[in-house]
Amino acid sequence: MSEAAAGTGAKARSAGSAAPAAAAALELRGLQKSYVRGKPVLRAIDLSIAGTGLTAIIGPSGTGKSTLIRCVNRLVEPSGGQVLLDGEDLTALRGRSLRLARRRIGMVFQEYNLVERLTVIENLLCGRLGHVGALRAWLRRFPPADIDRAFELLDAVGLADFAKTRADALSGGQRQRVGIARALMQQPRLLLADEPTSSLDPKTSVEVMELMRGLCAQRGIPVIVNMHDVELARRFAARIIGMSGGRVVFDGPATALTDEHLKQIYGGEGWLA
């Protein structure tokens, strides 16, 4: 996991892109975004994510963490710069090819974003919609392999008994487990998580983070997580990226994050106990 931290600032992709484990899975080059002209939310972000560790992005509200994550799978359209997934520039993609690229990126949301009126198993299979035609999905004719994997993932997140429960009957922690399982159904190359624990209580937060880190490490999937909770980030992330004012102001292993850095990221010091 320390490799991830060591890869800090490595901009150029190493030669031999055939081995994804060695190359950066995700690379951002000069990524910019402004919703209103002249008021950039992201100012030229350069990042590269390699290895299989968990990377946490911390920073004050409104500093562009969510925007950054959403620019990666282009739920938000970047204003400039490049997003490279395994060397392929996602910002250049349109239509079907964008869709195919999105299939390779899993995403977990703050508000879970489950389809509430569908059952848990159906929500999991939603992760395969990129691979299954709409008519087959409508008739619930998913490939048996997908259904098997869905049940395996349900076992893995500890919700095996809830397969046919409607998603709106679940608790917050259970919903987020479903959210993680749905993202993993995609068999993604990369997992994005947008404040996955902000709507959860502390204990559930830890469980969800543990689950996410464990499952992804097992499958060799690098994770990028937006977080509010610095302690949680320290506990689970190998690498921490601190953002402030649309810029990366800290990038290093979790152990290197000091109060000095936090002051720089969040400003002020009164809140530091």
Partner 1 sequence: MDGSRGVAENLTPGTAVRRESHASGQPGSAVRREWQRFTAGERLARFAVYFFVVAAFVLSLGTVEVIPEFLWDAPAQVQDLLVRMWPPDYAHYPASVHAALVETLHMATLGTVIAVLLAVPLGLLAASNVMPSRTVNTVAKLALVTSRSVNSLVWALLFIAVFGPGALAGTLAIAFRSIGFVGKLLGEALEEAHRGPVEALKASGAPWPSLLVFGYWPQVKPAFWALVLLRWDINVRESAVLGLVGAGGIGVALNTAMNLFQWDRVAVVLLAIFAVVIVAEVVVTWVRGRIL
Partner 2 sequence: MNEALAGGGSSGKPVPGSRRAFEPDWLARLGWLAAILYVVYAASLLDFTWARFVTGLEQAARFFDRMFPPDFSRWEAVLKGLKESLEIAVLASVGGILLSLPIGFLAARNLMPAWVNWPARAVIALCRTFHPVIVAIIFVKAVGFGALAGILALVIASVGFIAKLFAEAIEEISLKQVEAVRATGASFMNVIAFGVLPQVAARFIGFSTYQFDSNVRNSTMVGIVGAGGIGAPLFVAFQRFDYDVVCAILIAIVAVVFLCEILSNQVKRVFGEAVQDGREPRRG
With CB cut-offs between 5 and 8 Å by kind, which of partner 1, partner 2, none does residue 93 bind?
none
Report if residue 142 touches partner 1, rule: CB under 8 A: no
The smaller minimum CB distance to partner 1, of residues 53 and 127, is found at 127
Answer yes or no: are the C-beta atoms of 40 and 17 closer than 8 Å.
no
List interacting residues with partner 2 (CB under 8 A).
41, 61-67, 70, 76, 121-122, 125, 140, 142, 144-145, 147-152, 155-156, 163-164, 187, 215, 218-221
* Paired residues of 31 in beta bridges: 45
DSSP for 240-251?
A: EEEEETTEEEEE
With CB cut-offs between 5 and 8 Å by kind, which of partner 2, partner 1, none does residue 174 bind?
none
Residue 28 phi, psi (nearest 5): -105, 130
The smaller minimum CB distance to partner 1, of residues 194 and 251, is found at 194
User: DSSP E strands: which ranges in the chain?
Assistant: 26-33, 42-49, 54-58, 80-85, 88-89, 105-108, 190-193, 223-227, 239-244, 247-253
Distance from chain centroid for Cα 50: 14
As a residue count, the chain comes to 273
With CB cut-offs between 5 and 8 Å by kind, which of partner 2, partner 1, none does residue 187 bind?
partner 2
Residue 62 region by backbone torsions, left for phi larger than 0, else alpha for psi between -120 and 50, else beta: left
Pairing of strands 190-193, 223-227: parallel
Report if residue 127 touches partner 1, rule: CB under 8 A: yes
Select from 33, 65, 102, 213 the one that contacts partner 1 (CB under 8 A). 102
Which of the stretches 7-15, 17-25, 182-190, 219-227 binds partner 1 when contact is defined by CB under 8 A?
A: 182-190
The smaller minimum CB distance to partner 2, of residues 155 and 259, is found at 155
The residue ranges that bind partner 1 (CB under 8 A) are: 73, 75, 96, 99-107, 109, 111-118, 122, 126-127, 129-130, 132-135, 137-138, 179, 182-183, 186, 192, 270
